[in-house]
Chain A
Amino acid sequence: KQEVTQIPAALSVPEGENLVLNCSFTDSAIYNLQWFRQDPGKGLTSLLLIQSSQREQTSGRLNASLDKSSGRSTLYIAASQPGDSATYLCAVPGNTGKLIFGQGTTLQVKP
């Protein structure tokens, strides 16, 4: 059974810091991995989707990497801003397209 773990559960950093969020999964037979952002009281917004054939995916200040063999993905946020404060979720697909989520990392960026 696929399990997804995110560490740390919460993170507080001063504005401007570069930071890394971690995601690990137990079954490496995945075809992609996604990172989502969730603001308090809101739905999920897709940030990055990495195919299994890719090692990295970038969008602005965000960079996600995927290492299938070790069952790990990282989300790197450069030059963090208070607007980056949110919960970040990683997810891998199960059968019929359903997503299996980690429990998320709640990020607070202090001005």
Chain B
Amino acid sequence: NAGVTQTPKFRVLKTGQSMTLLCAQDMNHEYMYWYRQDPGMGLRLIHYSVGEGTTAKGEVPDGYNVSRLKKQNFLLGLESAAPSQTSVYFCASFEGRRTDTQYFGPGTRLTVL
């Protein structure tokens, strides 16, 4: 049981380049989330999904797209990276019951030059 995994762990992009971050969970959770963590700003929600084939915008969705084609995977895409997207990205999954916690991946550290 690997929990929540994220690929890649580190990445450096040039402005304008594109990339996809992959999040995978093996707990059969319905809900998945992408957060970004920035100094002084805390963790903020980018996009989320409440089930396979569904996605919705969070607090800071601009510049990102997501897809949830399979229940276990949640992809975060940057079509044209900007320096403002330099951050640490965390994926989380959640079964959906109020007694449950969210499980977080180890993070992806992205630098956009």
Contacts and interface: CB of A to CB of B under 8 A. Distances in A.
Chain B binds chain A: yes
Interface residues of B, number: 27
A103 B39 CA distance: 9
Where chain A touches its partner, the secondary structure class is strand
B101 A101 contact: no
A96 B102 contact: no
Contact of A43 (B41, B96, B98, B105): B105
Interface stretch (A16-24, A44-52, A60-68, A76-84): A44-52
Nearest to A36: B104
B42 A42 contact: no
A111 interface: no
Nearest to B99: A51
B58 A98 contact: yes
Contacts of B102: 34, 46, 97, 99
A101 B107 contact: no
Contacts of B104: 36, 43-45
Contacts of A44: 90, 92, 104
Interface of A: 31-32, 34, 36, 41-46, 49, 51, 89, 93, 96-99, 101-104
8 contacts: A34-B101, A41-B109, A43-B4, A43-B90, A43-B104, A43-B107, A46-B102, A99-B92
